[in-house]
Amino acid sequence: MHKRLYIPGPVEVRPDVLEKMATPMIGHRTKDASALQQGISEKLQKVMQTKNTIVLSTSSGSGLMEGAVRSFTKTRAAVFSIGAFGKRWYKMCTSNGIEADLFESELGQITTPEMLEQALSTGKYDLITITQNETSTGIHNPMARLAEVYKKYPDVIVCVDAVSSMGGDLIPVDELGIDVCITSSQKCLGLPPGLAIASVSDKAIAKAETVENRGLYFDYLELVKFVKEKPYQYPSTPSESHMFALDYQLDRILEEGIENRYKRHCEMAEIVRDWARKNCELYSDPDNLSVTVTCITNTTGLAFSDINKAMGERGYLMSNGYGPLKDKTFRIAHMADTTVDEINQMLKDLDEVIAELKAKA
C-alpha cells in the first residue's frame, strides 16, 4: 500500500504531475529545450517574486547550497543557524576550505536582528546564509526584520535557504533583497526529488567573477552563462523529466495563486498547531512557527515509532524528530498540494490511532 506522505519532503506528488515525468525526452540543445527552460524561469520568477536570474540544477537543493558558498564567498562567510540545516551550510563551508563562522540560535528559536547586526558590524564577512524555514524545528525566521539589518550592508551577499518553504510560505525575494534564494523540487513545490532551483542577483553574479576555485558542476557563473548566452540552457544534461513536471506544476501553482497557496498553508498549519496544543505540545517559539511543517513534543506517553507504525497501517507516513530531537519530537508536514480536508482526515485517524494504542497499553 502506498503511504501518503506527511513528512517534510519528499511530499505527496499529484498523479497528473507524476505523469508529466514520463514525457518523451527531447534534445537538450534544441530550441524546444530552451523554450521549456525559459517558460520555467519566467513562472518561477513569479512564484519567487523576483526579476533575478533563475538557475536550475540536476541535484537536490544541497548542491546549489554548496555551490553558493563556493561561488560567492571571497573573504569569510557568516552562517546563521537555527537547526540542522543551518549547521549543514557551515559544514559545506569548512569542507570546501571556505573561511566561515557559525552563529547558532538555541533549537526552536530564530536568528535575531541583533545577532545579524553584531556579526555584520565587524566588517569581517562578505556573505551570510540564513535559513528561512528550519525543517528540523518547524520555525521560520522573521525575514522582513532581518532584511532591515542586512540591507545596511550592501556589499554582503545574502544567501537564503528556502528549501522547505518556497511555494508555501510567502518569500518576496526582491523586496527582501535576497541575492541567492535556494529551493528544492520535493518540498512545497510538490514534485519528485532531484531538482534544485535558485534565483541569483546581478550583484551576486558580478561578485562570483572575482572568486576563485568555484568548482564546475555547481559554479553559479557557469549556470548563469548558459541561461544568459545560449540562452536558457544547462551546462550538462539536465533532468528533462523534472523540467516537464515542473513546468506543468508551476502552471497549477500560478493558477491557484501564490497568495491563496500561502493562505492554504497557514490554514493547514493552524489546524495542526491546534491539534498539537490540545494533544501534545508545540516544540518551538510560538511567535515564529513555520507554515509548512510543525514540530511537536511527544507527550502522549507512547513511542512515536508505534504511532507511526499504526498510522502506516492506515496509509500515512509522518516523521520523527531530527538530530538531537529524534525521540523527543515528531513532525507533521503540511506542504505543497495537501488540502485542508486531507489534514483534517489525517488528524482524525491520528486521534483514533493514539486512543487505540493507549487502550492497549
Ligand X SMILES: *Cc1c(COP(=O)(O)O)cnc(C)c1O
* Buried b or exposed e, range 92-103, using 16+ CB within 10 angstroms: bbeebebebebb
Rounded Cα distance between 99 and 115, Å, is: 19
3-state secondary structure at position 25: coil
The nearer residue to ligand X, 195 or 347, going by C-beta atoms, is: 195
The nearer residue to ligand X, 3 or 88, going by C-beta atoms, is: 88
Given strand 293-297, what is the order of strands in its sheet? 281-282, 293-297, 329-333, 319-320
Binding site for ligand X (CB under 6 A): 8-9, 60-62, 85, 131, 133-135, 161, 163-164, 184
User: Residue 52 Cβ, how far from ligand X at the closest point, in Å?
Assistant: 20
Rounded Cα distance between 291 and 297, Å, is: 17
The nearer residue to ligand X, 69 or 354, going by C-beta atoms, is: 69
The nearer residue to ligand X, 62 or 111, going by C-beta atoms, is: 62
Rounded Cα distance between 81 and 112, Å, is: 11
Rg, C-alpha atoms of the chain: 20
User: Residue 301 Cβ, how far from ligand X at the closest point, in Å?
Assistant: 29
* Buried b or exposed e, range 254-277, using 16+ CB within 10 angstroms: eeeebeebbebbbebbbbbbebbe
The nearer residue to ligand X, 134 or 179, going by C-beta atoms, is: 134
User: Residue 86 Cβ, how far from ligand X at the closest point, in Å?
Assistant: 8
The nearer residue to ligand X, 52 or 59, going by C-beta atoms, is: 59
User: Residue 67 Cβ, how far from ligand X at the closest point, in Å?
Assistant: 12
User: Residue 77 Cβ, how far from ligand X at the closest point, in Å?
Assistant: 16
User: Residue 231 Cβ, how far from ligand X at the closest point, in Å?
Assistant: 26
The nearer residue to ligand X, 129 or 308, going by C-beta atoms, is: 129
User: Residue 47 Cβ, how far from ligand X at the closest point, in Å?
Assistant: 17
* DSSP string covering 250-316: HHHHHHH-HHHHHHHHHHHHHHHHHHHHHHSEE-S-GGGB-SSEEEEE--SSS-HHHHHHHHHHTTE
Give the H/E segment covering residue 4: strand 4-5
The nearer residue to ligand X, 8 or 150, going by C-beta atoms, is: 8
Nearest Cα neighbor of 205 from 43, 68, 349, 338 is: 68
User: Residue 336 Cβ, how far from ligand X at the closest point, in Å?
Assistant: 13
Q: Assess contact for 80 and 118: CB atoms under 8 A.
A: no
